[in-house]
Amino acid sequence: MTSTDSIRVISHWIDGAERPSSSGRTAPVFNPATGAVQAEVALADQAEIDAAIGSAQRGFEVWSGYSIAKRQAVVFAFRELLNARKTELAAIITAEHGKVISDAMGEIARGQEVVELACGFPALIKGAYSENVSTGIDVYSLKQPLGVVGVISPFNFPAMVPMWFFAIALAAGNAVVLKPSEKDPSAALWLAALWSEAGLPDGAFTVLQGDKEAVDGLLHSPVVQSISFVGSTPIAQYIYETAAKTGKRVQALGGAKNHMLVLPDADLDLVADQAVNAGYGAAGERCMAISVVLAVEPVADELIGKIAERIAKLRIGNGADAVEPDLGPLITGAHRDKVASYVDIAEADGATIVVDGRGCRVEGHEDGFFFGPTLLDHVPTTSRAYTEEIFGPVLSVVRIASFADGVELINSGQFGNGTAIFTNDGGAARRFQNEIQVGMIGINVPIPVPVAYHSFGGWKASLFGDAKAYGTHGFDFFTREKAITARWIDPATRGHSSHTGINLGFPQHD
C-alpha cells in the first residue's frame, strides 16, 4: 500500500509483490463506523488488467508443474500461517467492512474450513483406471487444472468468499486472479502476501483492484478460463451471460430473500433467538440472512413480542471497540440510505413498523453508517420490501394460515438460496425439505451454510451456472478431465499381431 498526501493508496498484487497503480483512477475506502475516508483504492486500467493476467499465466506455468506433494505442502503452509495470524485479518475486515471482530473471526473460520478441505486435494483430483475394457485395451482418466481462473468477490465477505474459491483452485494447480470489492480491498492483499510467504510462486495468486472495467477485463480475456462470482442477482446474471459467450466456465452466485417458516408447535424462544441472530448478524449484510419470518397463526403476536424484547437489548457500535457491540455499521452511507428506502416503501405499502432502525446514531460515531435493527409486521407480499433483497438489518413478518401457504410463498419467489423451518414435527420437516424449491435448507437451523465438504449454492435466480461453491463441486469446476484409451502390444507377440485388419465400422467390443 503506497501513500499519497497521507492517504493510503491500496493497489494491486502482481508478480509476487504490491504494484503501484498508474491508471490515475481511484475510489474511496471508508471506515464505516466513522464515515471517514481512510484510504483510496486503485481502479485498474487495461494495461494493468493485462499485466495481472499475464503474471497469472506465467505463474500457472510454474505452479502447475509442481508435484502434488509440493503443492500440498504450500497449501498446508498457508493454512498454518492463516491460523496463526487470523486476528490480523479480522482487524482489517472490521476496519473496512464494519462487522464486529467476532463476526470477522467467524468469517475467517468458515473460509479456513475450505482451505483445510483443499489440504486433502490429492484424493479429490485423482483419476480412475479400468483395465482390459476390450481385449488389450485400457481406459483411464486424468484431472488437470484449467489454467488462469478469475474470482470476483463481494464486499460482505472479503476473506471467506475468496477462500471458497482460491483454496481449491490453487490446490488443483490453477493460477488465480482475484478482483475484490473496491469497498474493502485490503484483505485480498493480506491474503496474497500470506500465499507468497507460504511458498506459492510469483504470479500464481494475483490481486487486481478495480471496478467494472476490471471485471469486464477478466470476462473478455481469452486467457482466463473460468469465473467465480458472488454478489447481487443482476450482476451474477450479467457475469454468467458475458463469460459464457466467451466459452468460460462460470459459477455465479446471486442474491436471496430467505424465509423462516414457523409452525405453531415450534419453540418460540428458540425461534426468536435464531431470528435475531440470522436477521441482524453482520447488520443483515449476508446472502444467507433471514429476511422474512412466515408465522403460521396464532403465533405471530407472541413471536413478535419476543423478537422485539431481544432487539431492545442489542448493542450497536464500532466493531473495533474494546467492548464489542452486537452489530456494527453498514458498508457505506449510500447503502444505508438504500436500506432505509425499503422501510419507507414497506410503511407506505401498509406494513406496521414494530421497531424502527432509521435515524440510528451511535455516540462518538455520529457520522458512521449505522442502521438499527428493524422489525416490520403485516408486510404485504406485493411490496418491494418483501420481494426484493434489502441486504440490511430489516426483518419482515408475514402472517399466514398454514404450512401449505408458507411453502407456496417460498416457492413462488424469484430466489432460491436458503430457507428454514422451525417445528418439532418431523413429518412436517421432512415434507418441507422435499417440497421446497430452494438450494439450502435448515431444520431448526436459521443459516444453513453447508460445511466445506458439502457444496454451497442456491436455485433459481440465486445461482447461474451448474457448479456450486467448494465441496466436490469446487474440485470438478476447477479441473478438466481427460479420458485416455490405450493399447500396448504385448512384447511377446510383437511382429506377430493378430489384429483383424481394416474395419471402417464404429468400434465395438468383440
Report, as residue numbers or ranges, the catalytic residues.
287
Beta bridge partners of 295: 262, 399
Q: Which amino acid, 118?
A: A
302: DSSP letter:
H
Burial class (CB in 10 A: 0-12, 13-18, 19+), 132: exposed
Strand order in the sheet with 205-207: 17-19, 12-14, 205-207, 175-179, 148-152, 224-230, 249-253, 463-464
Helix ranges restricted to H, 322-390: 333-348, 384-387
Burial class (CB in 10 A: 0-12, 13-18, 19+), 460: middle
CA atoms within a 13 Å half-sphere pointing along the CA-CB vector of 197: 13
Separation of alpha carbons 227 and 176, rounded Å: 10
- Between CA 159 and CA 85, with CA 282 as vertex, the angle to 5 degrees is 35
Beta bridge partners of 290: 258
Separation of alpha carbons 304 and 66, rounded Å: 58
Terminal-to-terminal C-alpha distance of the chain: 67
Residue with cell 440510505: 337
Cα–Cα distances in angstroms (integers) from residue 81 to residues 115, 187, 196, 204, in the given order:
12, 15, 11, 18
Cα–Cα distances in angstroms (integers) from residue 125 to residues 117, 167, 177, in the given order:
12, 14, 21
On whether the CB atoms of residues 42 and 209 are closer than 8 A, the answer is yes
**Of the candidates 345, 344, 342, 373, which has an alpha carbon nearest to the alpha carbon of residue 357?**
373
